[in-house]
Amino acid sequence: MALPVLICDDSLLARKQVRKSLPESFDADILTAGNGVEALTILRGQEIGLVFLDLTMPELDGIGVLEAIKQDGLDCFVIVISADIQPEMQKRVTELGALAFIHKPVNPEKLVVILKQYGLI
């Protein structure tokens, strides 16, 4: 069965980059959100297995989304894909429960390694 996946980024290009980086073998049902508020609306309304989450976004940023996921006890994997690559930020998102931290622009090989590591493909 296809895994419901949410790609959350304010940039259309970035959302397309993530989508295109996913391997063909990955059976996913893809939804998109343009900011954190939209992402939470989707996450609270339906089951999502995996979220690709940008950090620097208008309305509600990625940190805000991670905090809400934690607070609401939403059951989903989160992979952060961020231009903010400071080690401190990486530590923060890991503490907030993100599975992995990938630097932008997304590297498809790296993404495949992570998906395999967590048994998602």
Partner 1 sequence: MSTVFSEEQRDCLQELINVAMGLASDKLARFLNTFVHLQVPAIELVNSSQIPAQFEAQYSSTEAALVSQGFLGNDGLRGEAIVLYQLDNAHRIAALLGYDTDSASELEMLTDISSILTTTFLNGLAGQIDNSLSYSAPRVLSSRQTNVTEALIETACHWELALKVDISYQLIDHSFNCDMLLLIPGEAVLNIQQILDRIVEEY
Applying CB under 8 A, the residues found at the interface with partner 1 are 10-14, 16-17, 20, 56-58, 82-86, 88-89, 103-105
Closer of 77 and 102 to partner 1 (Cβ): 102
**DSSP string computed for 1-37:** -PEEEEEE-S-HHHHHHHHHHS-TT--EEEEEESSHH
Closer of 49 and 103 to partner 1 (Cβ): 103
Taking every pair of Cα atoms in the chain, the longest distance, rounded to a whole number of angstroms, is 37
Closer of 38 and 84 to partner 1 (Cβ): 84
Least distance in Å: CB of 15 to partner 1? Answer: 9
CA–CA separation, 90 vs 107, rounded Å? 17
